Amino acid sequence: MNLLNCHQINELLSAYLENELDTTTTLTVANHLEKCLSCEKELKALTNVSNLVKTVIREADKTDLSLVARSNKINSLVKDEITSKIKATENLVLASSNDNSIKTSQNNIVKLNLRPKWSALSKKIFLSLAASVAIICLSLFTITYYATSTGPLLSGVARNHQFCSAIEISNIGWHKGYPKERLLQANNINLPKLDTLGVHFSDLHPCKVYKAPFLHMMYSKGDKQISLYYGSQEAVNKFQEKFKTITPNELYLHQESNLQIAAISTQKNNLWIVAGDLTKEEINAITSELAINSLSNTEESKLFH
């Protein structure tokens, strides 16, 4: 720092006045000031300003007589506050003196540890359990609510439900042990007996086909799964709306489920649907049996014409 111009020296003058510069810089500034009248003048001006400010403020402090009274009042308030805090702490210590969580060291420093250590862990466990329950509930609700097709959602447990929306896990839907007799009674039908055709009944449950309520009766013939669906007036209306051109007792390939289906009407205001990998002969045999076993007055209605 051998060469400094006046501007650079001016920047250092404040620190020079407060003796905040290192020895080398102090010497540099001092040497410059010896040779430069303008910088020396600047230093004097700054010194005068500083002295004036100091004098003015210190004089103002002397005339402010309220300072002593205010500081005494503050000290008094602070002491009271601190004393009351100490007393409160001591009372807390006395009140909990039998508590094992209070530890007193040799230096008479009281450490309070009133909260049990496992509280944080139990809080985490509680939150984890709550989160798990919430996730399970949400999953069940989602599966139940959106189970419009059993293919993707419940294919593992309901291979026979490609055509309908089996609600197997809901209280309002079908599950193992649901009284079958009650379901048949509610729909005012008898269970079709197809044993003579080698088709054996396995189970039944309430379901929905295109949002219309049906009763799904599951049968099997060897490895082949056969389903009978029974629907009342509401189902008829919905189904008629969906399949306007369907003809009773004719086999159709249901595009969505890739199942062969046939629609049969035994009465004017109800509907039977047979679904499965069927032949025309099997359909005819089943419809004949249905006509025998189902309610009387079987007729091919003009439902689908």
The footprint of another protein (CB under 8 A) covers: 1-7, 9-11, 13-15, 18, 20, 27-28, 31-32, 35-36, 38-39, 41-42, 45-46, 48-50, 52-61, 64, 66-68, 70-71, 73-75, 77-79, 81-83, 86, 107-109
d(CA 44, CA 50): 10
The residue among 55 and 132 lying less far from another protein, judged by its C-beta, is: 55
- 92 contacts 101 by C-beta, under 8 angstroms: no
d(CA 19, CA 15): 6
The residue among 50 and 148 lying less far from another protein, judged by its C-beta, is: 50
- Closest among 206, 250, 213 to 231, alpha carbons compared: 213
- Closest among 269, 193, 185, 186 to 228, alpha carbons compared: 193
Q: At its nearest, how many Å lie between another protein and the CB of residue 145? A: 49
Q: At its nearest, how many Å lie between another protein and the CB of residue 96? A: 17
- 166 contacts 158 by C-beta, under 8 angstroms: yes
The residue among 2 and 98 lying less far from another protein, judged by its C-beta, is: 2
d(CA 180, CA 194): 17
The residue among 107 and 171 lying less far from another protein, judged by its C-beta, is: 107
The residue among 1 and 131 lying less far from another protein, judged by its C-beta, is: 1
Q: At its nearest, how many Å lie between another protein and the CB of residue 99? A: 20
Q: At its nearest, how many Å lie between another protein and the CB of residue 47? A: 9
Q: At its nearest, how many Å lie between another protein and the CB of residue 111? A: 11
d(CA 264, CA 273): 6
- Closest among 207, 296, 204, 305 to 263, alpha carbons compared: 305
- 293 contacts 187 by C-beta, under 8 angstroms: no
- 217 contacts 191 by C-beta, under 8 angstroms: yes
Residue 176 is encoded by which pair of tokens?
A: 């193992």
- 176 contacts 166 by C-beta, under 8 angstroms: no
The residue among 53 and 136 lying less far from another protein, judged by its C-beta, is: 53
Q: At its nearest, how many Å lie between another protein and the CB of residue 17? A: 8
